[in-house]
Structure 1
Amino acid sequence: MSSSRGSTFFLCRRARTDPRFPKYPALPRWQCAGYDPPDHDERLPVPESTSPAAVTVRAATREDVPAILDFIEQLADYERMRHEVKATAAALDETLFGAHPAAEVIIASIDGRDVGFALFFETYSTFLARPGLHLEDLFVVPEARGAGIGRALLGRLAAIAEARACGRLEWAVLTWNEPAIQFYRQLGAVPLDEWQTYRLDRDGIRALAGATPCLDHD
């Protein structure tokens, strides 16, 4: 299948046969959930010298906003949710590096090239009476996968959680993303099968806020 840019894309075996694996938008074979590697891998090669020690991880700054937005858009493509991305560089600048930052970002690089990021924010556990960290986004560019970058990002995040005496480090994963699930299990992460996530979007928040009387009195 060809994209509007003229590149050729493929559907992995699961995407061809399992309705749980969306077929739009088309993705490069190595980005497809359930990717079945052929004898010859089409991915761009990672330099043989690349090792976990060659991966550097740093805290993002305001100058990294364009790279952060690019990572977000690539992640949305991977998760078949690009149409839901409303983020802009200006909004990221304000919410990540303004007067009241809502989240933090770390960026992984190889030989000076930014190849992945993790965006996270603090939470709190009443049962533990300790802070926690929630990992909102983790992404590594396809051509750099397999170089230990995801592990390096999660390792730095774990170090941050340890330094802040956090009781939990949590994140969500799409149920069809089997490669990610297996990776997280290898790290020792366990699924919280007894919990169901609920969400109010912006319209839902406005509707509920508008229907709730204000009980505060000066």
Structure 2
Amino acid sequence: MSQTLSPALSIAKADFADPADAAAIVAMLDIYARDPMGGGEPLSDDVRQRLVPALSQVPGAFVVLARIDGEAVGIANCFTGFSTFAARPLVNIHDMAVAPAHRGKGIARALFAAIEAEARMLGACKITLEVLSGNERAKALYASLGYGDYQLDPEAGHALFWQKRLS
């Protein structure tokens, strides 16, 4: 999956073995981590060193990078999972970020289009993601692309994403 959307913007799956792609993954994830919606803290040196080698060892992991004139400006870290109810793969977007100076230019939409193309190629039944309840800009974008919370039975309510941190 690689496409050029204009002379300046290109979207492509990252090659974990490519040093330029590896550096772009770390740089973009660090930009996201520093953003209030990413926690507001830079990546630790340890994570910066381990990130790409660890990602490369995760079956079904893929990263989509957006570049303008070769500079990384957007990232989507994705993982292939499995839907037991559909007995088919699914794709989870774990991280989605666009560099602040490049927001509002359609880069996230281009990343989503590439992810959807990859998901269809994999035969996935759905794409999932998490979003903070206060991230109104992201929620508006995701809703405009057809994303929304899900429920199996309206009486049971909608699904929540919970976590338990392990040390």
TM-score by length of 1: 0.63
Mapped to 2, the partners of 1:56 and 1:66 lie a distance apart of: 17
Structure 1 regions of 5+ residues with no counterpart? 1-50, 204-218
Q: 2:91: which partner in 1?
A: 133
TM-score by length of 2: 0.81
* One-letter amino acid matched to 2:12: R
Q: 1:17: which partner in 2?
A: none
Mapped to 1, the partners of 2:93 and 2:38 lie a distance apart of: 19
Percent of residue pairs identical: 29
Larger radius of gyration: 1
User: Which structure: greater strand fraction?
Assistant: 2
Q: 2:142: which partner in 1?
A: 184
* 3-state SS of paired residue (1:200): coil
Query: How far is the alpha carbon of 1:95 from its aligned partner?
Result: 1.1
Q: Is residue 161 of structure 2 the alignment partner of residue 197 of structure 1?
A: yes
Q: 1:38: which partner in 2?
A: none
Query: How far is the alpha carbon of 1:145 from its aligned partner?
Result: 1.5
Q: 2:111: which partner in 1?
A: 153
* One-letter amino acid matched to 1:66: A
Alignment CA distance shift 1:85-1:113 (3 Å) = closer
Q: Is residue 38 of structure 2 the alignment partner of residue 74 of structure 1?
A: no
Q: 1:56: which partner in 2?
A: 10
CA contact (8 A) 1:117 1:153 kept: yes
Mapped to 1, the partners of 2:97 and 2:41 lie a distance apart of: 18
* 3-state SS of paired residue (1:202): coil
Mapped to 2, the partners of 1:161 and 1:88 lie a distance apart of: 27
* One-letter amino acid matched to 2:52: D
Q: 1:122: which partner in 2?
A: 80
* 3-state SS of paired residue (1:53): coil
Query: How far is the alpha carbon of 1:52 from its aligned partner?
Result: 4.4
Query: How far is the alpha carbon of 1:125 from its aligned partner?
Result: 0.6
Listed one character per residue, the Cα deviations across residues 121-141 of structure 1 (whole Å, up to 9, x for unaligned) are 011111100000000001111
* 3-state SS of paired residue (2:162): coil
Listed one character per residue, the Cα deviations across residues 106-131 of structure 1 (whole Å, up to 9, x for unaligned) are 11111222111110001111110000
Mapped to 2, the partners of 1:156 and 1:72 lie a distance apart of: 18
Listed one character per residue, the Cα deviations across residues 19-51 of structure 1 (whole Å, up to 9, x for unaligned) are xxxxxxxxxxxxxxxxxxxxxxxxxxxxxxxx9
CA contact (8 A) 2:10 2:67 kept: yes
> Alignment partner for residue 112 of structure 1, among 70, 83, 91?
70
Q: 1:88: which partner in 2?
A: 47
Alignment CA distance shift 1:124-1:180 (3 Å) = same
CA contact (8 A) 2:60 2:81 kept: no
* 3-state SS of paired residue (2:76): strand
Mapped to 2, the partners of 1:166 and 1:56 lie a distance apart of: 24
Q: How many residues align?
A: 152
Q: What RMSD in Å do the two structures reach over aligned CA positions? A: 2.1
